[in-house]
Amino acid sequence: MKKQISIYFLTLTFFSISCTEGHDQNPLEKALASDHTAIKRVMDSLEQYEVQIRYTQIDRRNDSVFFNDFDFQVDKENYFYPASTVKFPAAVAALEKINEIDSLSVNTKFYIEGDSTETTFAKAISEIFAVSDNAANNRLIEFLGQDDLNRRIRSKGIEPIRIAHRLSTPNADNVTTKPLITYLNDSTMTTSQSIINTAPKPLQINKLKKGTGFYADDSLQQGAFDFSLKNHYPIQAQHSLLKRVIFPSNFPKEERFNISDAQHELLLKSMHTLPGKLDYDTEEYYDSFVKFFMFGDSKDTIPKHIKIYNKVGYAYGTLTDCAYIKDEKNNIDFMITATILVNKDGIFNDNVYEYEEIGIPFLAQLGREIHSLELNRKR
């Protein structure tokens, strides 16, 4: 009896379920009980991988859409590094700000002071989702500023989120943005004012210090790597943003983003368009380059009937994917957001992470397990 009680409470610890009447079985439990090697090796050493998963079943009755959320170890108080997933809220917030400025559109040409690269907002957003371009994201940060980005996302009931820095650039932590030079027409340009943002305060949550060492200035430093001043964008916030973007009408007006139908269409198209469709080299940027669920462990062509609207992130040994997956052939769709840490040696910034060996295969197989369950699910 004591053994049974222990197992019961262990299960409650691992599986936190939010579901409606008639959906009393957690499908994540079945997916994660798979004998597939990619799943089993993670589940057999679960503590080291810091896995968190939220899966949403989507049901329709008449013209209404209903969500059933199922969680595995989701805890906003347990930190993971969100990496490039923060580019998703940057893109959404940028579209909203553009919509509030009469002189701007998604096709407005601009460049950042000190950077000779000319682009448009539409192109930057496309690059963010197609190949997870860091420079494109950083240009949107200069446009928005960290404070305004955070404010816009939080104002829609999406929390917690704290975007504190740019990505992979020397001025990543600078709280002052660079001016944008925008083209009002072919011959007239205007320069925006720099934005001074609030300096981030250290986060006060769990698991901010990770590992046993890290590299700084090409030198190995002993001790845990401190993430307390890094970006914070947990599973709950990522999944909430995805729901509002894919199904805006499911939310009250005050929780929807102020973007036009054309902007919304641009955003959705950017989220699922594969690199090859945008003339990227398909040898380097194959279909699943930034599509981890279902296809991440293969360079084969993704079937045309499956569309994945998503944003991935990978850095510091952490892999995350936040996705809405739609199988048009079988008339099923679902949402899944998951993260996993793969850093066996416990050293950060050494570029020795088990992305290809463990992380991506786990996420790919997890996507396939959920897709299989959806194929057989009664609606």
Tell me the per-residue pLDDT of 160-192, one tens digit each, with 9 for 90 and over: 999 999 999 999 999 999 999 999 988 899 999
Report whether pLDDT(14) > 80. no
Summarised one tens digit per residue, pLDDT across range 193-218 is 999 999 999 999 999 999 999 999 99
Listed in sequence order, the residues at least 6 apart from 204 whose beta carbon sits closer than 8 Å to its beta carbon are none
Nearest residue to 295 (alpha-carbon basis) of 284, 307, 283, 280: 307
Rounded CA-CA distance 111/222 in Å is 41
Beta bridge partners of 191: 181
Confidence of residue 16 (pLDDT cuts 50, 70, 90): very low
Report whether pLDDT(21) > 90. no
Averaged pLDDT, 347-364:
98
pTM (whole model) above 0.95: no
3-state secondary structure of 49: helix
Summarised one tens digit per residue, pLDDT across range 326-353 is 999 999 999 999 999 999 999 999 999 9
Q: Which residue has the tokens 């939310």?
A: 251
Average pLDDT, whole number, for the chain? 93
> What is the set of domains in the chain, with CATH numbers?
15-376 (3.40.710.10)
If you ran DSSP here, which 8-state letter would residue 330 be given? T
Alpha helices in the chain (DSSP H): 2-14, 27-32, 37-43, 46-49, 87-99, 121-131, 134-144, 146-154, 235-246, 261-272, 360-376
Q: Which residue has the tokens 């053994």?
A: 3
Summarised one tens digit per residue, pLDDT across range 317-326 is 999 999 999 9
Q: Which two tokens stand for residue 212?
A: 């046993």
Q: Which two tokens stand for residue 309?
A: 């609207």
Beta bridge partners of 311: 322
For residue 203, the one-letter residue type is: L
3-state secondary structure of 37: helix
3-state secondary structure of 58: strand
Question: Helix 87-99 vs helix 121-131: angle between axes, to the nearest 10 degrees?
Answer: 160
For residue 35, the one-letter residue type is: D
Report whether pLDDT(119) > 60. yes
pLDDT of residue 24: 56
For residue 123, the one-letter residue type is: K
* Cβ–Cβ under 8 Å, residues 319 and 367: no
For residue 237, the one-letter residue type is: A
Residue 75: CB atoms within 10 Å: 16
Rounded CA-CA distance 290/368 in Å is 16
Summarised one tens digit per residue, pLDDT across range 282-328 is 999 999 999 999 999 999 999 999 999 999 999 999 999 999 999 99
Report whether pLDDT(23) > 70. no
Q: Integer distance in angstroms from the first to the last C-alpha of the chain?
A: 37
* Cβ–Cβ under 8 Å, residues 92 and 241: yes
Q: Which two tokens stand for residue 84?
A: 């490039």
Question: Helix 87-99 vs helix 134-144: angle between axes, to the nearest 10 degrees?
Answer: 40
3-state helix, strand, coil in the chain (%, to 5): 35, 20, 40
Rounded CA-CA distance 191/180 in Å is 6
pLDDT of residue 9: 34
User: Would you call the peptide bond into 27 cis, given omega within 30 degrees of 0 as the criterion?
Assistant: no
pLDDT of residue 237: 98
Residue 13 or 157, more confident: 157
pLDDT of residue 46: 96
Summarised one tens digit per residue, pLDDT across range 237-261 is 999 999 999 999 999 999 999 999 9
Q: Is 46 left (phi over 0), alpha (psi -120 to 50) or beta?
A: alpha
Residues in the chain: 379
Residue 7 or 373, more confident: 373
For residue 11, the one-letter residue type is: T
R_g of the chain computed on alpha carbons: 21
Averaged pLDDT, 125-145:
98
Averaged pLDDT, 257-267:
98
